């Protein structure tokens, strides 16, 4: 069982019936949008309205606010991890840059979620540990592949690269195109002394 399958089984029980699954997906999407726009303090009633379901349906799927926050957070991590596999057929440098762009977007979107989750479940929780593993399983092979191809310097590793791009994602009051430019400038440093 992969880390992704383990976290899904242990933390997020997705419904099996088609109609329940549709409502679950609508609630996750509505919560993701609301938390991104307004922060994690958005009311559950607002999320139910956005999903076009009753508040009872929301509570059947997510008995507590924390359950909903965890589910949205895990969905975001899974989507980021799955995106790495979509890049297998492109050159190593392009694959790494493409995934790191997605990582920055993920880091920006999850900021409100992770702040509230950190305050309620703590950094050492199984949610954060398992999500950390999923991200590493997805991203580290991209760095190694790029290093083996000689397009990324050998004196760095995935941990350092994640810290660098995470720092970029924390820049406040920057327009998306400014963040993109800063990210690309930083990533150019990964090529310095790389052996083609």
DSSP 8-state class, residue 96 = H
CA–CA gap between residue 4 and residue 135 (Å, rounded): 9
Confidence of residue 1 (pLDDT cuts 50, 70, 90): very low
List Cβ neighbours of 157 (8 Å cut-off, separation of 6 or more).
Answer: 143
pLDDT value, residue 60: 92
Tokens of 139: 């991203």
User: Looking at domain 3-9+65-191, which of 1.25.40.10, 1.10.357.10, 1.10.10.10, 2.102.10.10 is its CATH number?
Assistant: 1.10.357.10
CA–CA gap between residue 10 and residue 32 (Å, rounded): 21
pLDDT value, residue 3: 45
Q: By the 8 A CB rule, do 168 and 186 touch?
A: yes
CA–CA gap between residue 163 and residue 125 (Å, rounded): 20
pLDDT value, residue 12: 58
Residue 17: name the closest of 80, 64, 61 by CA: 61
Is the model's pTM score more than 0.75? yes
What are the CA-CA distances from residue 146 to residues 44, 55, 80, 91, 149 (Å)? 43, 47, 19, 8, 5
**For range 63-84, the mean pLDDT:** 90
Poorest-confidence range of 43-52, 138-147, 158-167, 175-184? 175-184
* pLDDT at residue 128 greater than cutoff 90: no
Q: Give residue-wise pLDDT tens across range 150-190.
A: 999 999 999 999 999 999 988 888 787 888 899 999 999 99
**For range 85-111, the mean pLDDT:** 90
């Amino acid at each position: 069982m992969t880390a992704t399958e383990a976290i899904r089984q242990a933390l997020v029980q997705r419904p099996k019936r088609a109609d329940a699954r549709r409502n679950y997906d609508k609630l996750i999407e509505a919560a993701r949008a609301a938390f991104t726009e307004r922060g994690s303090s958005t009311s559950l009633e607002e999320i139910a309205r956005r999903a076009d379901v009753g508040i009872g349906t929301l509570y059947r799927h997510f008995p507590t606010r924390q359950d909903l926050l965890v589910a949205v957070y895990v969905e975001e991590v899974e989507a980021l991890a799955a995106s790495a596999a979509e890049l297998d057929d492109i050159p190593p440098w392009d694959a790494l840059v493409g995934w790191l762009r997605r990582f920055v977007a993920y880091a920006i979107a999850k900021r409100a979620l992770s702040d509230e989750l950190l305050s309620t479940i703590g950094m050492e929780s199984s949610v954060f540990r398992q999500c950390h593993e999923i991200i590493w399983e997805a991203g580290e092979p991209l760095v190694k592949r790029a290093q083996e191809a000689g397009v990324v310097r050998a004196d760095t590793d995935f941990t350092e690269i994640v810290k660098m791009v995470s720092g970029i994602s924390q820049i406040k009051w920057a327009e998306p195109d400014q963040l993109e430019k800063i990210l690309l400038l930083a990533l150019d440093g990964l090529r310095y002394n790389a052996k083609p």
